[in-house]
Amino acid sequence: MTYKTIQVAYDGAVATITLNRPEKRNAISFELIDDLLRGLDHVAQSDAIILILTGAGKAFCSGLDLENLKALLGRTPEQNLQDSQTMVQLFRTLYEFPKVTIAAVNGAAIAGGTGLALLCDFTLAVPEAKFGYTEVRIGFVPAIVSTFLLRQVGEKQARDLLLTGRLFDAEEAARLGLVSEIVAPADLMSRARALAALLLENSAASLRATKKLLTDHARAELDAQIESAVRENAAIRETADFCEGISSFLEKRKPVWTGK
């Protein structure tokens, strides 16, 4: 199977997916979403027991690609809804992945990149890594990621991160329980492989059953919350503030909000 924006490699029972757009800081494009979904499906059906997710270059994933961001301004309500459903599919595929997942966060993981990094079972991050649910800063709403974040850190912390849209570092992410371990850059991948080796000492059947158990526990609640999140995610794109937020971001100026 060939991909344009990711690399998929296997080493025994360990699969590694590398986001491979270093010149774009591994930004999320429509093409990358398609590649990543296909890559995840390939790993899910393989004999691999552990999946490592990382990024090429200096960033893990810088969020939505600028060209795709521009394209959001001209989409129909039906296209907005489809976009939201596609993003849900990506995040939920990773969150409910049948194999154990390890994110090796080698740099910035912003907006959608934060989602990808923190939805894995284990998240290792370099000290320089930055995270942020920055959607409100461009007139967007972090509807989909909020569903998962509430389960991870609780309501008070989620309100802080989602309403301020501020960036936070690996140390704070670790304090919040979002990052499992902070690792020196030179040791990041070797530490991820060491963790994978530790996990492989366990029964593969038990790992698979435990992940299924955790997924089953969360499914009913996620189903209800995500249905609402998809609607909110699509609806905000019809607002004047969303258009202004995207335009000002692309034009590198301060937004002028109208609240509409």
Domain span at residue 159 reads 6-187
Assess if residue 230 is contained within a domain.
no
Cβ pair 237, 221 in contact under 8 A: no
The dihedral through the CA atoms of 93, 192, 132, 185 has a sign that is negative
Q: What is the mean pLDDT of each run of 10 residues along the chain (260 residues)?
A: 96 98 96 98 98 98 89 86 92 97 98 96 98 95 92 96 98 98 98 98 98 93 89 91 93 94
CA atoms within 13 A on the CB side of 239: 18
Answer whether residue 250 is part of any domain. Answer: no
**pLDDT given for residue 116 in this prediction:** 97
Domain count, the chain: 1
Domain assignment present for residue 220? The answer is no
Q: Which amino acid is at 228?
A: S
Q: What is the DSSP letter of 200?
A: T
pLDDT number for residue 204: 97
Distance CA 103, CA 27 (A): 16
Residue 87 lies in a domain: yes
pLDDT at 72: 84
**CATH code assigned at 114:** 3.90.226.10
Give the closest residue to 191 by CA, choosing from 107, 241, 122: 122
Specify whether 171 is catalytic.
no
Q: In terms of DSSP bridges, do strands 109-110 and 100-105 run parallel, antiparallel, or are they unpaired?
A: unpaired
- How is residue 171 written in tokens? 């140390």
Strand-pair partners of 6? 19
CA gyration radius, the chain = 18
Judge whether 134 lies within some domain: yes
Query: pTM for this structure?
Result: 0.95
In a domain, 52, yes or no: yes
The per-residue pLDDT for 181 is 98
Judge whether 41 lies within some domain: yes
Residue 235 covered by a domain: no
Among residues 135, 172, 181, 201, which one is catalytic?
135
What pLDDT sits at residue 172? 98
